[in-house]
Chain A
Amino acid sequence: MTSRLSVRDLSLHFGGIQVLDSVGLAVEPDTIVGLVGPNGAGKTSLFNCISGHYRPTSGSILVDGVPTLHRPPHRMAELGLSRTFQHPALQLDASVLDNVLIGAHTRLRGGALSWALRLPFTISGERRARQRAGELLDHLGLAGVADRPAGSLAHGLHKRVELARALLSEPRLLLLDEPAGGLPHAEVEQLIETIRAIRTEFGLTIVIVEHHMGLISALTDRVVVLVQGRKLLEGTALEAQRHPLVVEAYLGRTAA
C-alpha cells in the first residue's frame, strides 16, 4: 500500500539558512501523525513544502505515490490535499459562510461565462455547496455566525472557520498547523472531539503541527519530532515526550 504522504530526504535553504535538513516522513492512510518541535524547528516550513508554497532545495514529496515537487500549489487540491494556516488567513470583511465557500472552488464546475449566464448546473452546484457548507458550519459549532463578517469573530473561532473551509474541498489528506493555537484549555478538549469526529466521518489522513501535548497524545498514532530542521525521532506520543533529547530541546528553548 502506498503511503498517503511520503517525504524523502527533504532539505530547504533560504539563502544561507538551512531550514530543513534531510527530513523524511511517511504518513499511512487513515492515520493521524503529529509533527512537534520547538519554535523555529521548521514545522510550518515543512507544511509549506508539502502544499507547494515553498520549493525545497532537494528531496522528494509524493502524495498517494504521485511526485508533487513540480506542481504549483494550486494544483495540490486535485490530489486531495488541503490545509489550514498557523495564522488564520480569512477575508475579515466577508461573511463566515463566504469564507468557507472558497473551499468549494474545486468542487464546482464552470467558467466565467457559465456563471454569468447562470447555467442550471452552476445554480445546482452552488446550492449543493451552500448546503454542504451549512452542514460543516453546524458540525463545527459555527452555524450561528454564518452570516457574520469573519473579522467580528473571536480569534479562536478563526481556526474553526479555516477548518471548515479546508473540509469543504473534501480532502483525503489534511494538514493542520496548530489547530489549538490560542485556544483556552477547556476548548481544546472539544477540538480533540471535533477532529476525531471529522476524521472518521470523512475518512481523513491528518498531519497535525501542535505544541499542545495533550492534543498530540489524544489524537496521534505517531509523532515526528523536528528540531532545528532535523528529524530527531519518530515514535508514539509517549515515547516522544519521554525522550531525553526532546526534553532537552524543549527546555533548551525555554531557557534561551
Chain B
Amino acid sequence: MTTTGTPSPGATRVGPARRPASAPLRVLTVVALVAGVIAIALIPLSATPYTNYQLSVVAAFAVAILGLNIVSGYAGQISLGQSAFMGLGAYAAAFGVTHGWPVVASFLLAALLPAVVGLVVAIPAVRLRGNALATVTIILPILAVPLAKRFSDITGGSEGLNVDWMHAPAGVGLDDDQWRYYVVVAIAAVLFLLGRNIVVGRIGRAFAVVRTNEAVASAMGISAHRYKVLAFTIASFYGGAAGFLYVAVVQFASPDLPNFLVAINMLAALVIGGFASLWGSVVAGFFYVYVPVFAGAVDPSRTNIFYGAALLLVLFIVPGGVSGGVSRLVRLLVGRLFGRRPPARDDDALTDPQPITSTQQDTAVPDASPDGLRSSVGPRKEVP
C-alpha cells in the first residue's frame, strides 16, 4: 500500500464509451440511480436501529474516503493522513456542540479548520521532491493521537468527548437513528455531488494531468504545485466534514479516530473500491465499515487478512477496484445485449495494473514522459 509511484487511474481505465453503446448505458445508469435513491430513502424505515447506525457510519467514511480519493485517486498524491483530518473534524464538531453552537456553525468549524490545517501542511510539502506528501502525511496521525491526549481539557484526553445531540425533532415521527441516518446521508449526498462537479470539469482535468504528466500540465498552463495543494485542501475539508458526520452518528470523538491505522485502512479500502471513481469511494465506505464486522466477529486479525487478500485481488486481477470491475462488466454486458463490440482494450486493462506506460500498444510510445523531462536521460527514439 505504501509503495511509491502513481496509482492506476481506476475506473477511468474502462473501455471506450462508444456513442452507440452509451445510450442504453445511460438509461441503465439513470434507472440504477433512481432505484438507489428510493432504496436509500426507504431502508431506514424498516431496518434495525443498529443497521441504520452502521449505514450512517458508512456514509461518514465514504465522505472521508471521497476526500482521500480526490487527492490520491484523482490528483495522484498518496496521503496517509486522512484520519487525522477526520479526527480533527470530529473534535471540532464535538467542541461546537458542547459549547452550544448552532449546528451549521459546528459543521463549518469541523470542515474548515481541517481544510486550513491541510492547506498549511500542503504548501511546503508539495515543494519537496518525489512522494514527499505521503511521507509528510504519515506524521499527521502519529502527531494527532498524542496531541489529542495531551490537550485533554478540550479533547477529553484518552476518554474522548461524549456529546448528546442530533435528536429527531418532535413531530417528524422518526427515531433518533432514522433521523441521524437521513441527516448524515443527505449531507454526504450533497458533498458527493459537489465532489463530482469538481472532478469532471476544469479542476478534475487539471488533477488528472498533474497525476499523469507534470510536464504536460505545465505546458498547458497548469501549476502542479497549486493543484496538489488544492487537492490536499479539498481532501482535508472532506475529512473534516466526515468527522462531523461521524460525531453526529456516534455521538463521540476520541483519539481512536485520528489513528494511523484508520488512515491506512481507508487508503486500502479506496484501492479496493476503485481509485478515481466516485462509486469507488462509496464501495470503500462499505468495505471499511463492514469488513471488520464480518471478519472481526471471530478474530480481529482476520480483518487484515481480508484486506490483504482483497488488495492482491485488485492489484492483479481487477485494476480499477470493485467500481472499475463492475463498470467494465456492465459495459461488456450492455455491449453484448445490444449487439455492440466489447470494449476494445479490455484485455490489457485486465493485465496491466501499472499507470500509463509504454506497453499499451504495439506501436509503442517510447516514453511516457516527454522529451527528456526526466531526472536522467533514457532511451531515445531512433527515427532519423
Q: B371 contacts A86, CB within 8 Å?
A: yes
> Are A122 and B222 in contact, with the CB atoms below 8 A?
no
A231 within 8 Å of B (CB atoms)? no
Interface status of A118 (Cβ within 8 A of chain B): yes
| A181 contact set on B, CB distance < 8 A | 381, 383
Does A102 lie within 8 Å of B216, measured CB to CB? yes
Q: Is B367 an interface residue (CB 8 A)?
A: yes
- Which A residues from 28 to 50 make CB contacts under 8 A with B? 39-40, 44-45, 47-48
Chain B neighbourhood of A53, CB < 8 A: 215, 218-219, 373
CA distance A165 to B209 in the complex (A): 12
A 97-121 to B, binary, CB cutoff 8 A, 1 in contact else 0 = 0100111111010111001111000
Contact with A along B336-357 (1 / 0, CB 8 A): 0000000011000000000010
Nearest-CB residue, chain A, relative to B349: A93
Q: Name the residue on A nearest B372 (C-beta).
A: A44
Once A77-B220, A94-B208, A169-B221 are accepted as A-B contacts, the answer to whether A89 and B202 lie under 8 Å apart by CB is: no
A89 touches B383 (CB 8 A): no
B201: chain A residues at CB < 8 Å are 115, 122, 126
Interchain CB contact (< 8 A) of A169 among B220, B363, B364: B220
A52: B residues at CB distance < 8 A: 218
Q: Is the interface of B mostly helix, strand, loop or mixed?
A: loop
A196 interfacial contact with B, CB 8 Å: no
Determine the chain B residues whose CB is within 8 A of the CB of A186 once the complex forms: none
Q: Mark out the residues of chain B between 172 and 200 whose CB falls within 8 Å of any chain A CB in the assembled complex.
A: 194-195, 197-198
A166: chain B residues at CB < 8 Å are: 219
Among A113-171, those with CB < 8 Å from B are 115-118, 122, 125-126, 147-149, 151-152, 154-156, 158, 165-166, 169
Q: CB within 8 Å of B: which of A55-94? A: 72-78, 82-83, 85-89, 91-94
Contact present for B202 and A116 (CB under 8 Å): no
Minimum distance in angstroms from A74 CB to a CB of chain B:
4
Is A74 touching B202 in the complex (CB atoms < 8 A)? Answer: no
Docked-complex contact A87 and B218, CB < 8 angstroms: no
Q: How far, in whole Å, are A48 and B205 apart by their CA atoms in the complex?
A: 23
Q: Point out the residues of chain B lying under 8 angstroms from A116, CB to CB.
A: 194-195, 197-198
B-side interface residues, number (CB < 8 Å): 55
* A89-B370 CB under 8 A given contacts A77-B220, A152-B344: yes
**B212 close to chain A: CB less than 8 A:** yes
Once the chains bind, are B371 and A87 in contact (CB under 8 Å)?
Answer: yes
B127 CB within 8 Å of chain A: no
In contact, A91 and B213 (Cβ under 8 angstroms): yes
User: A85–B371 contact, CB under 8 A?
Assistant: yes
The count of chain A contact residues (Cβ–Cβ below 8 Å) is: 65
A228 at the interface (CB under 8 A from B): no
Interface residues of B in 89-130 (CB under 8 A from A): none
A117→B371 CA distance, assembly (Å)? 38
State which of B9, B212, B365, B371 has its C-beta within 8 Å of the C-beta of A177: B371
* Residue among B16, B205, B224, B370 making CB contact with A149, cutoff 8 Å: B16
Across the interface, name the chain A residue whose C-beta is closest to B230: A112
Considering the complex, which residues of chain B in the window 203-257 have a beta carbon less than 8 Å from any beta carbon of chain A?
A: 203, 205-206, 208-209, 212-213, 215-224, 230, 234
Interface of B toward A, CB cutoff 8 Å: 9, 12-13, 15-19, 22, 194-195, 197-198, 201-203, 205-206, 208-209, 212-213, 215-224, 230, 234, 344-345, 356, 360-361, 363-373, 380-384
In the assembled complex, 18 residue pairs joining A and B whose CB atoms fall closer than 8 Å, in A order, are A53-B215, A73-B218, A76-B221, A86-B370, A86-B371, A87-B370, A91-B208, A102-B209, A105-B221, A112-B230, A116-B198, A147-B19, A152-B345, A152-B361, A155-B363, A155-B365, A169-B221, A178-B383
Q: Which A positions have Cβ atoms within 8 angstroms of B?
A: 39-40, 44-45, 47-48, 51-53, 72-78, 82-83, 85-89, 91-95, 98, 101-106, 108, 110-112, 115-118, 122, 125-126, 147-149, 151-152, 154-156, 158, 165-166, 169, 177-178, 181-182, 211, 253-254
